[in-house]
């Protein structure tokens, strides 16, 4: 009895023990969009809005939808809204965006974390870094770390998972290896934003469905315990409204991940059924008497699938079973 009471207290004190795997959308401003996002497989939203009235409205609708929220605490702390916010469906308070880019010090981040935890001890805090390796080590200053990395089309697609892994390594060095880590996946066209090199031709395109799926699963295989997608409304224009075809690329992936949430949250990482050689990568999870292997092709060339996986005992949940896996392809295999 004492054992179960202790575990229950751990869950109350530290939500990380609950092993929740959030699927979140960045940049949501209108509460009327939450129903559509729920149908698309998302379990939470982030917003850049900070007005307490707006946050309250979003929180209320999220509660109705069974979703969670990621808000800036700045305009809530020390106000009359602080009391109401205690009961908002907070996934985490968003302390700052890319402190490595905006030159925040450890001291400044630490202060923001402590102020927020003093007001909301039951809620997690988080921040996102712009790359996995930062000059200032922020890895131990929040309850949850996030990393965003947007490689399409100018960098290797595998650099997304690499930066998730770098972040995980940085957390381990700061004795935070068991804390949650959320990767932020690109769902925008770089042409929408100001380029770092104005003398260069503007480059960019929206990721393909296959690229969105690969980045998502590659993040998982490299340590992500949740995924965010940036962003819902690039330059204020909702992708779902202005580009339904592009939105379908996103939802095809997020709805699939939503179906896999029981495995991602409750599954146990276990031995792989067979050895695979680079550039293939594999991770296997055991859940309720079944096993699920995530098989990824991390190269831009078609690769042969190990013959063992062509056996009837392996059911492919993504796509059809063939002798080869396409460039940056993802297979989810189910078997006993």
| pLDDT-above-90 percentage for the chain | 90
Helix residue ranges per DSSP H, the chain: 2-13, 34-39, 52-65, 81-85, 106-119, 159-173, 209-221, 239-242, 244-259, 261-266
Which residues are paired to 230 by β-bridges? Answer: 186
**Mean pLDDT of the 54-68 span:** 98
Quote the CA–CA distance of 324 and 299 in Å, as a whole number: 13
pLDDT at res. 21: 98
Write out the H or E segment, with its range, that includes residue 230.
strand 226-230
**Mean pLDDT of the 306-314 span:** 97
pLDDT digits (tens, 9 = 90+) for 272-284: 999 999 999 999 9
Say if residue 198's pLDDT is above 80: no
Say if residue 2's pLDDT is above 50: no
pTM equals 0.94
**Mean pLDDT of the 231-255 span:** 97
Q: List the single range of 33-47, 160-174, 191-205, 253-267 with lowest mean pLDDT.
A: 191-205
Residue 195 pLDDT class (50, 70, 90 cuts):
low
Q: Are 175 and 236 in contact (CB under 8 A)?
A: no
**Distance set, CA 145 to CA 157, 165, 224, 239 (Å):** 21, 12, 10, 27
What is the three-class DSSP state of 125? strand
Give the list of residues 6+ apart from residue 287 with CB closer than 8 angstroms, or none: 262, 263, 266, 267, 268
Say if residue 331's pLDDT is above 90: yes
Give the list of residues 6+ apart from residue 41 with CB closer than 8 angstroms, or none: 23, 251, 254, 255, 256, 257, 258, 259
pLDDT digits (tens, 9 = 90+) for 77-104: 999 999 999 999 999 999 999 999 999 9
pLDDT at res. 314: 98
Helix residue ranges per DSSP H, 222-313: 239-242, 244-259, 261-266
pLDDT at res. 103: 97
Quote the CA–CA distance of 42 and 158 in Å, as a whole number: 24
* Dihedral pair phi/psi, residue 216, rounded to 5°: -60, -50
Give the list of residues 6+ apart from residue 300 with CB closer than 8 angstroms, or none: 157, 327, 328
Count of H helices and E strands in the chain?
10, 15
Structure tokens at 108: 């400044």
Residue 57 pLDDT class (50, 70, 90 cuts):
very high
Domains and CATH numbers, the chain: 20-266 (3.20.20.80), 268-335 (2.60.40.1180)
pLDDT at res. 197: 61
Which residues are paired to 90 by β-bridges? Answer: 69
Structure tokens at 298: 């991390």
Q: Are 145 and 182 in contact (CB under 8 A)?
A: yes
pLDDT at res. 319: 77
pLDDT at res. 196: 65
pLDDT at res. 333: 98
* Dihedral pair phi/psi, residue 107, rounded to 5°: -60, -40
**Mean pLDDT of the 213-235 span:** 98
Nearest to 282 by CA among 216, 335, 330, 227: 330
Residue 1 pLDDT class (50, 70, 90 cuts):
very low
**Mean pLDDT of the 299-314 span:** 97
Say if residue 115's pLDDT is above 90: yes
pLDDT digits (tens, 9 = 90+) for 13-40: 343 344 799 999 999 999 999 999 999 9
Cα dihedral 31→124→17→47 (10° resolution): 30
């Amino acid at each position: 009895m004492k054992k179960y009471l202790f575990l229950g207290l751990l869950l109350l004190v530290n939500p990380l023990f609950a092993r929740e795997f959030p699927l979140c959308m960045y940049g949501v401003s209108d509460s009327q969009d939450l129903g559509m996002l729920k149908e698309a497989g998302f379990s939470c939203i982030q917003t850049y809005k900070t007005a307490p009235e707006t946050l309250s409205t979003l929180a209320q609708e999220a509660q109705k939808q069974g979703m969670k929220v990621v808000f800036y605490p700045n305009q809530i702390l020390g106000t009359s809204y602080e009391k109401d916010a205690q009961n908002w469906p907070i996934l985490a308070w968003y302390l700052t965006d890319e402190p490595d880019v905006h030159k925040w010090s450890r001291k400044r981040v630490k202060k923001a974390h402590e102020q927020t935890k003093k007001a909301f001890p039951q809620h997690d805090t988080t921040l996102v870094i712009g790359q996995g390796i930062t000059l200032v080590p922020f890895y131990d200053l929040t309850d949850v770390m996030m990393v965003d990395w947007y490689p399409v089309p100018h960098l290797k697609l595998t650099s997304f998972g690499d930066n998730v892994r770098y972040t995980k390594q940085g957390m381990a060095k700061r004795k935070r290896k068991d804390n949650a880590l959320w990767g932020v996946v690109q769902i925008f066209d770089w042409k929408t934003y100001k380029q770092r090199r104005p003398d260069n031709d503007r480059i960019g395109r929206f990721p393909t469905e296959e690229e969105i799926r690969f980045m998502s699963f590659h993040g998982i295989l490299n340590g992500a315990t949740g995924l965010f997608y940036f962003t819902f409304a690039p330059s204020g224009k909702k992708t779902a409204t202005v580009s339904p075809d592009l939105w379908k690329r996103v939802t095809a992936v997020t709805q699939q991940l939503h179906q896999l949430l029981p495995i991602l949250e409750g599954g146990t990482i276990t031995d792989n059924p067979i050895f695979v050689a680079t550039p293939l990568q594999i991770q296997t999870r055991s859940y309720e008497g079944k096993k699920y292997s995530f098989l990824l092709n991390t190269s831009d060339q078609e690769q042969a699938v190990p013959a063992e996986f062509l056996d009837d005992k392996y059911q492919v949940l993504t796509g059809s079973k063939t002798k080869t896996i396409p460039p940056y392809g993802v297979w989810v295999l189910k078997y006993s």
